[in-house]
Each structure stands twice: as structure tokens, then as C-alpha cells.
Amino acid sequence: MTLGPVMLDVSGTALTAEERHRLRHPLVGGVILFTRNYQSPAQIAALVGEIHELREPQLLVAVDHEGGRVQRFRDGFTVLPPARRLGDLYDENPRRARRVAHMAGWLMAAELRAVGVDFSFAPVLDLDFGVSEIIGNRAFHSNPDAVADLAGSYVAGMAEAGMAATGKHFPGHGACAADSHLTLPVDNRTYADIYVQDLVPFERLIEQGLAGIMPAHVLYPNVDAQPAGFSRFWLQEVLRGRLKFQGIIFSDDLSMEGAKGAGGIVERAELALAAGCDMVLVCNDPTAAGDVLQRLKPHEDAASRLRRVRMRGRPAPERAELASAVAYREAARAIAKLA
């Protein structure tokens, strides 16, 4: 059995019999975890282990663990600052900010790898234009070169800890006031405007070997008629063609309001995969997840299968060994000052 193109969630702190059955479906390739799945480091390690033991090759296990507002596991984990704290530091001392960004990426990834989580959907590569309800201080900075600089250091830290990175939300969510969880944001800028601003961090990180990218549920009507996550123009012509991205493309959650204009849940999944996504996320809606697994046509793509496998976390120290490391204590102290 190979890793399929669908990533699902689970309901609680341990798998139910129904979830074990569902996760063995050949279309499933991964699981995304949320705060409701977390009680303690030992519990989450057991849950991840249970998921990994279900099949071979092991399902990918992911989480949104950026820091600030978006950190799913807290008690027992280092409290991570929002990315913008690193941007503030960058304005004072760019060299020190890059060093601390490397520490932050390493610390986040090391703690997750120590409990078996394969990867976090991080970092955010959006620019902070000061208008977005959902991005805000999740962005490193308003300056694209500063974002690229800090994100590059952060991703290098993640890699050192054994974790591949996923940049989001391509081609840029920061210029929209609306929250794509609640509605479809519309960005009326031209491609040229987006290229000289929002695409800079993505282009720079792709040149450095970025493993994954997640497109935004945002419509750019002066560029294409489809939101980015369903757009062959954005995913094929721009991301794969012009930017030469060779890594994995994850859809954002197809249950979000910003995705619902594309049709029913199965139509959304089909459209996202046809546009160029390698893996689609269906979260917080078990009925929709069941519909996708029942009705989605098989997608046999050897390149996509290989991209999915490459997101597997690399070997890393367990928690006890990690906690005793000098580098861990130094990183935790440095990040605590920011958080």
C-alpha cells in the first residue's frame, strides 16, 4: 500500500475503531492533529505511535505548530512566540534575528519529532500588510526580503532537527482583510504587484530547497478565475513552471468556507488535485471525509507519491535525550525571552 492523497483529522486523544478503519483506506496518506487531540507529551507520542502502526508505509502525521496563536500543543511544550517577534528583533539586529529564527525552527521541530510528529505546516511566508484578520503577527514581517531571510533561517533549523518545512499561503494571504475560514477573501492586485512583493519569500525558499507549499483559499480575480488552491495557473504555470518548485503541494483545509465555492467536498478534492495539489486536507467534518474516501477517483501519480514520502520525519532524539542536550536548553532560554 502507498500513501494516498488525502489527509484527515481524528476526534480525540486516542483512535476509535471507526477511525482505525478509515485511516487504513488506500486514499488516506496522512493525519493532521489539533488541540483536541492533545493532553500531554506522553499521550501525544502514544497517539502518533498508534497512527504510525496502522499501516506500512506509515501515515504522515502533521500539525499546525507555528507559535503565537497557532500552537496546538502547549502544556509540556515550549511556548513559541508569534513569528512577528522575530521580525521585531530583525529590525533591531538582523544577524541576531536570523540566529534566533534558526533556534526557533530547530526547537519547534525537535520537540515535535521527539513525540513522533513528522512535520508542522510552517513557516508562514505571507507578508504582514497590516490588514489581514487571520495572518497578522503570524507573518515574520512586512518586508519580503526580511521574511525570506528569517524564514530561510527558520527552515534550516527545522531541517537540522529532522523536519521538512511547508511554506504558506501561496501566493500570499496577507493583503486580504477577510479570513478564509469564514469566507472567500478576494485580492484585486495584479500579478506584477504580487510577484514583486508576496512571491519573493516563496521564490527564495524554493531556491533553498523548500519541501512543501500550501496555497491560499484566496481569489485573485485580476490573475485567474479560480482561487489559488484550485488554480492550474497558480500551481502549474507559476509554482511548478516559473518558480521551478519540485516539492509537495498541500491544499488548505477543503472544509473551510473559502473553499466551498468550488462545489461539494468531492468536487473540491478533485479540482484541487487536478490543479496540481499532491495531498488534500479534509478536516473537522467526518461526513465529508467519508464522502471523499467513498467517491474520490484514485489518483495514480508516481511523482506525487514520492513527494508525499519525502515529508516523513527523519530520525530524532526522544524527549528525555532532547531535554538533556545543551543546545535544547540554550534554544529554550532564547525563545522564552521572545515569547
**Catalytic center residues:** 181, 252
Q: What is the DSSP string of 59-124?
A: PEEEE-EEETTEES--TTSPPPPPHHHHHHHHHH-HHHHHHHHHHHHHHHHHHHHTTT--EE---B
8-state DSSP, 262 = G
Chain centroid to Cα 120, Å, comes to: 6
Single-letter residue type at 195: Y
| Angle made by CA atoms 236, 238, 239, in degrees to the nearest 5 | 70
Nearest to 59 by CA among 21, 23, 16: 23
Task: State which H helix or E strand residue 274 sits in.
Answer: helix 265-275
